Structures are given as structure tokens and as C-alpha cells.
Structure 1
Amino acid sequence: MTEVTTRSVEYPADGLTMVGHLARPAGVGRRPAVLVGPEGTGLNDFQRRRADALAELGYVALAFDIHGGRWFSDPEEMLARCMPLLADPDRMRDIGHAALDVLHAEPRTDPDRIAAIGYGTGGAIGLELGRAGVDLRAIGTINAVTTGRPGEAARIRCPVWAGVGSEDPIMSPAQRDAFAAEMQAAGVDWRLVVYGGALHAFHHPPTDPDGTISADGTYGQALVPGVAYHPQHAQRAWRDVVGLLAECLPVAP
């Protein structure tokens, strides 16, 4: 395990001041880099720890912000912010490009070796970067089998991996089928893993209203329907994401 240094970084996007979390491995040389996108509720310690875990594996990792430093405990507020965003590919791309600019400005980043992973809304942003033709080495999403504007998936130049729960009412079987059809028609190297019995946001441990991980394993916040943590599949999905990065963005010894 390598020593990790972290810092918060502020940057403009979507008319807001975003507050991302940058994690770097020990050393001075350039390293492959990963964008880590949060789900619709926003950036919290869960994604920050994911960035730290990637830095321990040797990556420069930025857990990026989508709400200007806010984390939404109220589902109605979250949906009011996220639904217009998810319906606007250009806004999503702008948020993703702003985060990419932060990674490119980091001297430790190898600008030719960057991947994007994300959860929910953050995963959709990663997919939109691919559809915009950004040179990524891999795109990995959990709970984000979103489709884009017709024909734009042909611009994706890297493997795409997606994970979703079989019982997710938000990313429904019809949505999964549409995503698969889009990727296949575009000639993308794609994979879709369906985790049996899992609901939406199955990867995320229960949280308290302030966004911190619940100490007693129960949800302290209101939830949209169809959300539940699945600890076994959460671990499996993370291993699958790490495997994707190891295949497409290997870290030199």
C-alpha cells in the first residue's frame, strides 16, 4: 500500500464553485488518473474514500463535485437539481470537462492515461464525456445505463463497463436494453453486469442526513423508492471496477 496525500480543490462549473477531492499516490512521477463521479445526492465521504483507495493503487484520482459543495438529503431537492441536468448532455459534459481540467492541471497526472468511473449522475457524466469524444482509456458506471443523443456513442474510443441491480426500478430492464443497443450499434467494446437482487444505489452504504456513513447501518435520510444497500454486490462491483482499470489503465510497478 502506498502513501496517499489528499486535498480539496475548488473550481468553477455549471455556474457553481465545485469542491472536489484530489488524492495522489506517493512519489513524483506522472501516474494514470481517474475521475470519480458521485451519485445524484452529491459528493460525500464515500466517493472521497474511493478516490483514496485508487490512489493507494497508484492512480491520481479526483472525486469531482456536481452540486457546488452541496449534498442533498432531501430526495425532492435532489431530483429538482438532477433531472434537468440528466436531460442536458451539454451541461453534463461541461461539468465533466471542468473536472478533467483539474486533473490535467495536476503535475502528477499522465494526460494520455485517464479513465472515468462514476455512480448514478456521476456515471452519466462519464458516459457523456465519452460521447463527446474525450480520449479516455476506460469508462465505468454503476447505476448509470443512460443513453445519449443519436449517433454520438460512436465517438466513444474506449471500453465501457456498466453495473446495475436486477431490481433497480430507476435503471429498468428497458433502460438496460436501450443502453446495450446503443453501445452495440456504435461498435463500442462494452460490458453490462446485472447484479441479481440488487436495487438502485446498491453500492452505497446507508448514510445519515449530513451524508456521513451511518454508524449503525440504517438510513437516517429519506430515500427515493427502490434504493437499498447490498453489501455483497457492493464489494463485487468495486472489484469489477478495479479490474476494469487494471485491464485498461495498468499502473507500472
Structure 2
Amino acid sequence: MTTVTTRTVEYAADGLTMVGHLAVPGGAGRRPAVLVGPEGVGLSDVERGRADALAELGYVALAFDLHGGRYLGDPEEMLARCMPLLADPERMRDIGHAALDVLRAEPRTDPDRVAAIGYGTGGAIALELGRDGVDLRAIATVNGLITGRPGEAARIRCPVWSGVGSEDPIMAPAQRDAFTAEMQSAGVDWRLVVYGGALHAFHHPTVGHVVLPGVGYHPQHAQRAWRDVLDLLAECLPLDLG
């Protein structure tokens, strides 16, 4: 485990001033790096903590913002912003590319060794970066199994790992089937883990605001999904700490 330095970074995307959380491991030299995308409610201490944990392992990590520094605890407000966003690949790519530029500009980042992971909307953005042909080493998406425009998945250049709760009504079986069919037909190296009994956003600890039906925390599967993501990174973005 290494000493971690964190700082807030501001950058422009989607017509907003985004406020991300950058975590940098101690030491010198360039390190592999990971983008961390949040659920539709926006950047929270959950994703900041994930970035910090990745930096403790030795990665540079940026937990990126979706809503200009805001956390949308009101479900209606969140849906009003996220549903049009999820229907607009170009806007998702703009948000993803802006964050990726910040991460790659960090002097400790090896710009040729970057992965993207995300939850919900953040996971959908990670996938859109892949569909846009970005050179990523791995993509992981939890709850964000959003299909893209026809044919564009063939531009994904890295393994894709996806996780979903078996009882997630938002990422229902038909949505999962469409996603895996897209990945398979495009020749992507993909895998899907279905976590039995888990709802949508099962990785996200209970928060103090009203949540949508079908959303709920599952602590055991949250830990398992995180281990699965770390296994993906170990395989595709190995750390050489020598």
C-alpha cells in the first residue's frame, strides 16, 4: 500500500464546470491509470473512495463528475438529466473524453495504459468511450449495460467486463440480452456476471435520500463486484511496482 495524494480538479464538459477527484499514488514515474464513473446521481464519496483505493494499489485514478459538481438526490431531477444523456452518445462521449484528457494530462499517468470503469451512467460512458475507438486496456461497467448505435461496438479494442443484479428491473433480462448480443456480434472479449438477488445500484451503500424502486445495496455482492473489477485490472492493466 502506498501513500496517496488527492486533489479536486475542475474541467469543462457538457456545458458545465465538472469537479472531479484525482488520486495519485506515492513514488515517482508513470503509472497505469483508471477512470472511475459514478452512478446517475453523480459523484459521491463512494466513487472517490474507489479512486483512492485504486491509488493505494498503485494506479492513478480519476473519479469523474456528471453534473457540474452537483449530487442529484432527487430522483425526478436525476432522471430528467440522465435519461436524455443516456440517449445521446455524443454527449456521453464528450463527458468521457473531457475526463480522460484530465487523467492523461496528469504527469504521473502513463497515457498509453488507461482503463475505464463505471457504475450506471458512468459505466455507460465508459462503454461509449470504447465504442468511440478510444485506446483503453479494459472497460468495466456495473449496472450500465446500455447498448450502442449499430456497428460501433466493433471499435471496442479491449476486454469488457459487466456486472448486474439478477433482480435489477432497470437492467432487466431483455436489456442484458441485447447488450451481450451486441458485444458478441462485434467480436468483443466480453463477460457478464449476474449477482443473484441483487437490485440496481447494489454496489452503492444506502444513502439518506429517496431512491427509486428496484434500487438497493447488497454488501456482499458489492464486495464481490469490486474484487471482480480488480481482477480485470490485474489481468489487463498490471502494475509493475518494481
TM-score by length of 1: 0.95
Helix, strand or coil: the match of 1:33? Answer: strand
SS in 2 for 1:176: helix
Map of 1:235 onto structure 2: 223
Query: In the alignment, does 2:233 pair up with 1:245?
Result: yes
Q: Provide structure 1 residue ranges, at least 5 long, that are not aligned to the other structure.
A: 209-220
Cα offset, 1:207, TM superposition = 1.1
Report deviation, 1:175. Answer: 0.3
Distance 1:30 1:78 in 2: 37
Tell me the SS of whatever aligns to 2:18: strand
The one-letter amino acid of 2:130's match is: G
Are 2:149 and 1:149 equivalent residues in the alignment? yes
1:53-86 deviation digits (Å, cap 9, x = unpaired) = 0000100000000100000110000000000000
Which residue in 1 is equivalent to 2:67?
67
Instruction: Tell me the secondary structure at the aligned position of residue 84 of structure 2.
Output: helix
Match of 2:210 among 204, 217, 222: 222
- Identity across the alignment (%): 83
Cross-structure match for 2:38: 38
Name the structure 2 match of 1:18.
Answer: 18
Q: Which amino acid aligns with 2:41?
A: T
Cα displacement string for residues 82-133 of structure 1 (whole angstroms, at most 9, x for unaligned residues): 0000000000000000001101110000010000000000000000000000
Query: Where in structure 2 are the equivalents of 1:47-126 lying within 5 Å?
Result: 47-126=47-126
1:36 is paired with a residue whose SS is: strand
One-letter amino acid of the counterpart of residue 41, structure 1: V
- Structure 1: how far apart are the matches of 2:2 and 2:63? 19
| SS of equivalent to 1:65 | coil
Question: For structure 2, which runs of at least 5 residues remain unmatched after alignment?
Answer: none
Task: Give the Cα separation in 2 of the matches to 1:182 and 1:105.
Answer: 32
Within 2, Cα distance between the matches of 1:46 and 1:178? Answer: 29
Paired residues, number? 241
The one-letter code matched in structure 1 to 2:147 is T
Q: Distance in 2 between matches of 1:223 and 1:107?
A: 39
Q: CA RMSD for the aligned pairs?
A: 0.4
Is the partner of 2:147 in helix, strand or coil?
Answer: coil
1:2 match: 2
Matches within 5 A, 1:184-195: 184-195=184-195
